[in-house]
Structure 1
Amino acid sequence: MKTIQLRRYTLVDGEYDAFVAWWNEWMPRVRPAAGFTIEFAYGVREANQFVWAVSAPGDADAFRARETEYLASDARAVAFDGVPQRVAHYDIALVDDVAA
């Protein structure tokens, strides 16, 4: 069993390329090191959006516990150190895998 979190961002105008470059530099390192798997990541340049999903083994409670540890981690702090706010709106939710 795994739990999947869908993360949909509307980016700050003019920050699409900088955000994608930052994300590609950091997320593939810090998320897996914290026990997560990046399921996919897609950008929608015309809409200034970025959509990705991350998963972790276990149920929703286990995911939330892992997420709490990750959010407080030194690795995450380093990844975000000095980075300006490039996300104008976050839409983050745990989702169900309904594919047959």
Structure 2
Amino acid sequence: MKTIQLRRYTLVDGEYDAFVAWWESTMPKVRPAAGFAIEFAYGLRESNEFVWAVSAEGDQEAFLALEATYLASPGRAAAFEGVPQRVAGYDIRFADFVASA
């Protein structure tokens, strides 16, 4: 069993390219090192949005415990050190599996 968290960000105007470049160079290293898998990531340039999903083995409680450890980790702190705020708003929720193609 794995738990998937869907993360939808509205980016600060003018920061789309900088955010995507930072995300591509950082998250595929930091999240897996913390025990997560990145399921997908998509940018929606026209609406200045970035949508991605991250997963972890276990139920939501296990995911939240792993996330708490990640949020307090030196690796995450280093990933965000000196990075300006590029996310104006976000919607983060757990997703239910429905079907695969």
2:44 is the alignment partner of 1:44: yes
The aligned amino acid for 2:82 is G
Deviation at 1:96, TM superposition (A): 0.4
% same residue: 75
Q: Which residue of 2 aligns with 1:25?
A: 25
Using structure 2 for the length normalisation, give the TM-score: 0.98
**CA deviation profile, 1:9-50 (whole Å, cap 9, x unmatched):** 000000000000000010000000000000000000000000
Letter in 1 for 2:51: V
User: May I ask how many residue pairs the two structures share in their alignment?
Assistant: 100
| Structure 2 unaligned regions, length at least 5 | none
Q: Could you tell me which amino acid in structure 1 is paired with residue 44 of structure 2? A: V
1:64 aligns with 2:64: yes
Map 1:81-96 to 2 at 5 A. Answer: 81-96=81-96
Unaligned runs of 5+ in 1: none
Structure 1 segments of 4+ aligned residues over 2 angstroms from their partners: none
SS in structure 2 at match of 1:61: helix
SS at match of 2:24: helix
SS in 2 for 1:65: helix
What residue number does 1:54 align with?
Answer: 54
Q: Which residue of 1 aligns with 2:80?
A: 80
Instruction: Give the residue type in structure 2 aligned to 1:80.
Output: F
TM-score, scaled to structure 1? 0.99
* Cα drift, residue 95 of structure 1: 0.9
